[in-house]
Chain A
């Protein structure tokens, strides 16, 4: 088992004829992901690198009924691309694009929530994320596939390369990963830590979860409360940005300490007090997971809700 995606998952790529879309569609296919084609408005009907190309997500849906749409559309048009996949009821939308205006995402998220309230079950990962990978089955994103190894640990992160760092350690230690989800560095996004933790809790293959957060917002705190009250599996947490100055955006649009809120120090203390094993040295993420799993305290009783 794994969460959200596996080797049977069928993927289309929005923006498949673009430089990024094209490169990564091929890299995903090479890894073994079932990439069944892509969408570029105006280029439908032909093929690109042996992928069939459609004019719209609706056409792709009619032809292949894909499970996932992976989006590499430039930021000015990305919100529209996500909305198109939502309208076409693609069950999982993974948006890699960085730089989408936040008010566009406010609207996208509103539309998504409204659809789901009416009975749809559509999930969005990202934007501004590396995507999702279930090692040995489905790489749907821009992460280097080979650093992953199928195993026992679920990974959820707001970051890209920092996630690879953690994954690499898990792989080196022989623990491996069940699924890794990059939820993205933007302030308004689709799946959040909590949503992914809930899925990992239900996944029999996942024995522990690594949660990589950073400065800004309060999502890690909400996740810690969730982990303490609703999860039996241990969570190891790292928060980047202990040395980040307030009021400055650290690369990611969402990585900013504003009004004194969202500091790494506060987040770490909060996580610690809610039973998350907090690592302050990112070199020790893998080792901490190994220790936690070996300690026999891997399964702990839930607090009464």
Chain B
């Protein structure tokens, strides 16, 4: 589960990680009001500049015009107006982009240098790994590619946990000024306790800035949580922003269906995640383009299949459906019964190919053939994919 920058910064603050002061607005009116009242914009200690930042769950906001620097307080509402409601298209949003619903306004920092610091669960070492780089502000994948020597990885032994020497190693690698050592070492400690205590899967500070008066500040904050662990952190669960998620995916999750929307036009419905991925691949191999990933789980009961059909058909791009079920513990004739019942209830207006294999598959396929419904039946996986691709291309 991902959260917004402003939420990540609030959590950072709670854990003692320094962040710029800021306010969140959801309307231009709010921005106008706050500019007149909040200490962030008034008095002698007010900052010289402000950053006005679009809040969406995707990187690359700056390049897409989602971040503006205001040099006067008066400019701020205008920038908020420009950004709010705008569709930002970045390399992480896909071509459809993401609509900005919230804007974060924060004090600007006088930056001397930018660094990179993150923590992830590294599957190779099977540990939390801290990653630091002197190349702040750049995509870490790019740095890893062009200048791997500018990155230091340190894996944390779960039996040992954090120890200050780890912070000192990262500190000397980054070449930070000596007077910032205590600040930095504490920051690494706090980052790690946040990661562990809240079951994060990824915490990225890019850039971590050194200001001209030798302060370290997390200028940006990107945080993801382990979906499997969100349940044990009610406060984190509450940070989920449904506006950032695909409507069909939200709908599917209500029925315990694992659905991921893709760009193609052939829908698939499969039992099991691995087979679901393989089914998408086979659709592509047969010359088609999958419109989704959908794992209906082991049961594939009438109710699940019915909900799955409804969700699939809510995607206007879908021109055909390929159901691929490997009947194991649940026998194929029961699955066929479920499909027939669901197909009768949900009006299916596009070609439907069902491939059944496994326990009592023959009986299941006979039932489908004799159902009187316009269902094409397949025995093999590739055969099924070819049939649906042909039906969609032929416009049948």
A residues within 8 Å of B by Cβ? 27, 75-76, 99-107, 109-110, 114, 142-144, 146-147, 157-165, 168, 185, 187-188, 212, 214-219, 238, 240-245, 247-255, 259-260, 264, 280-284
For residue B276, give the distance in angstroms from its CB to the closest CB of chain A: 6
Q: Which residues of chain B in 357-388 are interfacial with respect to chain A, using CB atoms and an 8 Å cutoff?
A: 357-359, 380-383
Q: Write the chain B residue with the least CB distance to A254.
A: B123
Check B141 for interface membership: any CB of A closer than 8 A. yes
Contact of B281 among A107, A243, A251 (CB under 8 A): A243
Check B226 for interface membership: any CB of A closer than 8 A. yes
Please give, as numbers and ranges, the residues of chain B lying within 8 Å of A242 by CB-CB distance. 280-281, 284
For residue A156, give the distance in angstroms from its CB to the closest CB of chain B: 13
Contact A217 B281 (CB under 8 A): no
| 6 other A-B residue contacts (CB within 8 Å) besides A99-B228, A143-B328, A161-B328 | A110-B126, A114-B159, A160-B272, A162-B272, A168-B326, A255-B273
Q: Which residues of chain B in 113-136 are interfacial with respect to chain A, using CB atoms and an 8 Å cutoff?
A: 121, 123-124, 126-128
Contact A101 B258 (CB under 8 A): no
Contact B328 A165 (CB under 8 A): no
Check B236 for interface membership: any CB of A closer than 8 A. no
Chain B CB within 10 A, most for which of A165, A248, A259: A165
With an 8 Å Cβ cutoff, the count of chain B residues facing the other chain is 55
Please give, as numbers and ranges, the residues of chain B lying within 8 Å of A102 by CB-CB distance. 121, 199, 201, 226, 228-229
B residues within 8 Å of A by Cβ? 92, 121, 123-124, 126-128, 140-141, 144, 157-159, 196, 199, 201, 226-229, 231-232, 258, 260, 262, 270-278, 280-285, 290, 293, 295, 298, 326-329, 357-359, 380-383
Contact B228 A241 (CB under 8 A): no
Contact A251 B258 (CB under 8 A): yes
Contact B199 A240 (CB under 8 A): no
A160–B166 alpha-carbon span in the complex (Å)? 40
Please give, as numbers and ranges, the residues of chain B lying within 8 Å of A146 by CB-CB distance. 359
For residue B284, give the distance in angstroms from its CB to the closest CB of chain A: 5
Please give, as numbers and ranges, the residues of chain B lying within 8 Å of A216 by CB-CB distance. 123
Chain A CB within 10 A, most for which of B126, B157, B270, B278: B278
Contact A106 B273 (CB under 8 A): no
Contact A110 B159 (CB under 8 A): yes
Contact A281 B282 (CB under 8 A): yes
Contact A185 B273 (CB under 8 A): yes
Contact of B277 among A157, A163, A250 (CB under 8 A): A250
Contact A283 B382 (CB under 8 A): yes
A213–B247 alpha-carbon span in the complex (Å)? 30
A168–B326 alpha-carbon span in the complex (Å)? 10
For residue B201, give the distance in angstroms from its CB to the closest CB of chain A: 7
Q: List 12 A-B contacts (CB under 8 A).
A: A103-B229, A147-B328, A162-B272, A243-B280, A244-B280, A249-B260, A250-B277, A251-B293, A255-B274, A264-B281, A281-B382, A284-B382
A243–B329 alpha-carbon span in the complex (Å)? 28
For residue B325, give the distance in angstroms from its CB to the closest CB of chain A: 9
Q: A76-B231, A188-B121, A281-B282 are in contact. Are A147 and B274 (CB under 8 A)?
A: no
Contact B282 A283 (CB under 8 A): yes
Contact B277 A147 (CB under 8 A): no
Q: Write the chain A residue with the least CB distance to B249.
A: A248
Please give, as numbers and ranges, the residues of chain A lying within 8 Å of B273 by CB-CB distance. 159-160, 185, 250-252, 255
A158–B274 alpha-carbon span in the complex (Å)? 8
Contact B126 A109 (CB under 8 A): yes
For residue A221, give the distance in angstroms from its CB to the closest CB of chain B: 10
For residue A145, give the distance in angstroms from its CB to the closest CB of chain B: 9
For residue A78, give the distance in angstroms from its CB to the closest CB of chain B: 10
Q: Write the chain A residue with the least CB distance to B280.
A: A243
Please give, as numbers and ranges, the residues of chain B lying within 8 Å of A238 by CB-CB distance. 278
Contact A187 B359 (CB under 8 A): no
Please give, as numbers and ranges, the residues of chain A lying within 8 Å of B276 by CB-CB distance. 250-251
For residue A238, give the distance in angstroms from its CB to the closest CB of chain B: 8
A212–B278 alpha-carbon span in the complex (Å)? 11
Chain A CB within 10 A, most for which of B128, B231, B272, B382: B272
Q: A147-B358, A168-B357 are in contact. Are A101 and B285 (CB under 8 A)?
A: no
Please give, as numbers and ranges, the residues of chain B lying within 8 Å of A214 by CB-CB distance. 274, 277
A107–B196 alpha-carbon span in the complex (Å)? 11
Contact A106 B127 (CB under 8 A): yes
A247–B382 alpha-carbon span in the complex (Å)? 27
